């Protein structure tokens, strides 16, 4: 039996069904596949299992999403981070309504023309929504293929794609893509892979040579660390001053407490405080030191006072959500 068939046989017995993937065929709703794939970027399956049904309840189809206000879309996305994904989903839904009769195209080249859909997402949609034989390469696939071929150097996605493509069968695109991802997620795990349960154990160079702990070698650039200050400005009614970010740039359109990087001019007095919050973005880690002050009218342009009980009506970034939970709700 060749490698693909071994994996497909293993998947029939061990694969997982997800709300956005079904065993044995394409998912009946390409919209659900698209939403899940965008959510799954930078987010764990466990978190998406929580968010996905709520999203589908609020925006059940492309038409509803396209017609929605962007503030509603951001609110629904709140907590998932990387808000550009939500903005692009909204923009893409509008393009699909305008140019594709409200349907997701079953073609990788067409998918790549859409906002927010890159090579990986296009391939995943082709597999899971249309059962096409595209090759998907995510973190799980990188680990499995690098171990299968015993690659001890720092691998690239392109290299893994070139090795994974010939293994991809011409049929059963959905099952094969699910199978290789599931193998990585449940058997070929980063630590202590369960090789005795693996359908590729007899073929796997890393297992044969007992070097699974050395593969894959990933060279990650060090994250830059930055510091700043955030001001929690409270009035006598226990309301806090928030403001909306501009429509462009990092965390655009979201609400926040006034804050500044340390190297910028401070907005208000700085108190030396041990209260702080740290958040890791894609390229840097930011620590904000909490400063508390009191005021009766908003001391910043576009500022407004809001009671904590109404925070849920405003889309906050994940970083500001952390500030709320750690420093306001527990105040």
Q: Binding ligand SF4 by CB under 6 A: which of 66, 96, 104, 206?
A: 206
Using the rule CB under 6 A, is 147 a contact of ligand SF4?
yes
For residues 253 and 240, give the distance between their C-alpha atoms in angstroms, rounded to a whole number: 18
Regarding 207 and contact with ligand SF4 (CB under 6 A), the answer is yes
330 Cβ contact partners less than 8 Å away, ≥ 6 residues apart: none
Per annotation, catalytic residue among 37, 91, 158, 222: 37
> How many residues line the site for ligand SF4 (CB under 6 A)?
14
User: CB of residue 159 vs ligand SF4: minimum separation in angstroms?
Assistant: 17
DSSP secondary structure letters along 72-98: HHHHHHTTS--THHHHHHHHHHHHHHH
Residue closer to ligand SF4 (CB basis): 122 or 206: 206
- Taking the complex as a whole, the smallest distance from the CB of residue 215 to ligand SF4 amounts, in Å, to 8
Per-residue tokens: 196: 């005795």
> Under the criterion CB under 6 A, does residue 145 sit at the interface with ligand SF4?
no
Give me the least distance between CB of 264 and ligand SF4, in Å please.
48
Annotation marks residue 37 as catalytic: yes
Region from 28-36, 190-198, 254-262, 322-330 binding ligand SF4, contact rule CB under 6 A: 190-198
What is the CA angle 92-97-102, rounded to 5?
A: 100
CA distances from 139 to 46, 208, 211, 233, 326 (A): 16, 22, 19, 42, 32
Binding residues for ligand SF4, per CB under 6 A? 144, 147-148, 187-188, 193, 195, 198, 200-201, 204, 206-207, 212
Active-site residue numbers? Answer: 37
């Amino acid at each position: 039996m060749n490698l693909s068939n071994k994996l497909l046989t293993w998947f029939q017995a061990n694969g997982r069904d997800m709300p956005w993937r079904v065993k044995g065929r394409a998912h009946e709703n390409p919209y659900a596949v698209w939403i899940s794939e965008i959510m799954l970027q930078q987010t764990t399956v466990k978190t998406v299992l929580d968010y996905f049904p709520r999203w589908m309840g609020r925006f059940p189809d492309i038409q509803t999403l396209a017609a929605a206000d962007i503030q509603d879309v951001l609110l629904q996305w709140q907590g998932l981070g990387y808000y550009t994904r939500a903005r692009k989903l909204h923009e893409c839904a509008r393009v699909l309504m305008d140019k594709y009769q409200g349907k997701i195209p079953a073609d990788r080249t067409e998918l790549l023309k859409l906002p927010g859909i890159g090579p990986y997402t296009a391939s995943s949609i082709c597999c899971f929504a249309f059962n096409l034989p595209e090759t998907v390469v995510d973190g799980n696939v990188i680990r499995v293929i690098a171990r299968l071929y015993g690659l001890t150097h720092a691998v690239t996605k392109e290299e893994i794609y070139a090795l994974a493509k010939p293994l991809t069968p011409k049929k059963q695109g959905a099952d094969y893509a699910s199978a290789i991802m599931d193998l990585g997620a449940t058997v070929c795990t980063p630590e202590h892979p369960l090789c005795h349960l693996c359908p590729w154990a007899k073929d796997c160079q890393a297992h044969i040579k007992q070097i699974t702990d050395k593969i894959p070698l990933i060279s990650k650039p060090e994250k830059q660390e930055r510091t700043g200050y955030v001001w929690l400005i409270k009035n006598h009614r226990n309301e806090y001053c928030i403001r909306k970010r501009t429509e462009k740039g990092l965390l655009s359109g979201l609400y926040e407490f006034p804050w500044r990087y340390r190297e910028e001019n401070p907005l208000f007095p700085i108190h030396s405080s041990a209260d702080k919050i740290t958040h890791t973005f894609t390229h840097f880690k930011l620590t904000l030191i909490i400063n508390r002050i009191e005021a009766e009218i908003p001391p910043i342009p576009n500022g407004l006072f809001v009671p904590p009980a109404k925070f849920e009506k405003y889309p906050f970034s994940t970083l500001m959500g952390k500030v709320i939970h750690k420093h306001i709700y527990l105040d």
